Amino acid sequence: MYMHSPETNEAPAAQLTFHHKLSVYLKDSNAYGNTYFARYFEWQGICREKMLFDCIARDLLKDEGVWITKHASQDYIQETFPFQEIDVEVNTYDVRRCSLWLEFRFYSNGHPVGVGRQQIVFANHAKQITVLPEIVIQRLKRYALKK
């Protein structure tokens, strides 16, 4: 498994990196004013959908099948608070015929605040794992982190 260390704040080596901005609101925080840990998983989903839509397939391959999350994790580096802007970078790694990993790097004011990962598989509408179209695999590999 590829694991980028955001503490170094080094840019990953990849042909392309997807960027997205998020805002933290009061609804995202607890009584102490810091962001609920679950919001990061929500943000992973938002960024995943946006990346797949913008960079891979505008129809999200809905006629061919569905994307299924097999694994998701999140490491927290620093707290975030309401009204902070969060910059997210997304890359792929370990792109295979039916699955791939995504890495999400979260930053606030240029400082890393978290890093998350998802393994997703592609399945047909009967929920049986199936091969991604070759053009999709090639598009995904343009965002792949180099080891």
Return the closest-CA partner of residue 79 out of 124, 29, 12.
Answer: 29
Q: What residues are paired with 120 via a beta bridge?
A: 69, 100
With pLDDT > 70 as the criterion, what percentage of the chain qualifies? Answer: 91
Q: Rounded to whole angstroms, how far apart are CA atoms 84 and 87? A: 10
pLDDT tens per residue across span 40-86: 999 999 999 999 999 999 999 999 999 999 999 999 999 999 999 99
Average of pLDDT values for 104-123? 98
Q: Rounded to whole angstroms, how far apart are CA atoms 93 and 55? A: 15
Query: Is a pLDDT exceeding 50 seen at residue 128?
Result: yes
Could you tell me the domains of the chain?
16-141 (3.10.129.10)
Can you give the pLDDT at residue 59?
Answer: 96
Q: Which two tokens stand for residue 46?
A: 């938002």
**95-113 as b/e, with b when 16 or more CB fall inside 10 Å?**
beeebbbbbbbbbbeeebb
Average of pLDDT values for 113-135? 97
Can you give the pLDDT at residue 146?
Answer: 87
Q: What is the mean pLDDT of the chain?
A: 93
Return the closest-CA partner of residue 26 out of 75, 106, 104, 80.
Answer: 80
Q: Rounded to whole angstroms, how far apart are CA atoms 102 and 116? A: 8
Q: Which two tokens stand for residue 16?
A: 């392309």
Query: Is a pLDDT exceeding 60 seen at residue 8?
Result: no
Query: Is a pLDDT exceeding 70 seen at residue 139?
Result: yes
147 vs 33, which has greater pLDDT?
Answer: 33
Q: Rounded to whole angstroms, how far apart are CA atoms 114 and 5? A: 10
Query: Is a pLDDT exceeding 50 seen at residue 1?
Result: no
Q: Which two tokens stand for residue 145?
A: 């982190």
pLDDT tens per residue across span 81-110: 999 999 999 999 999 999 999 999 999 999
CB 93 within 8 Å of CB 2: yes
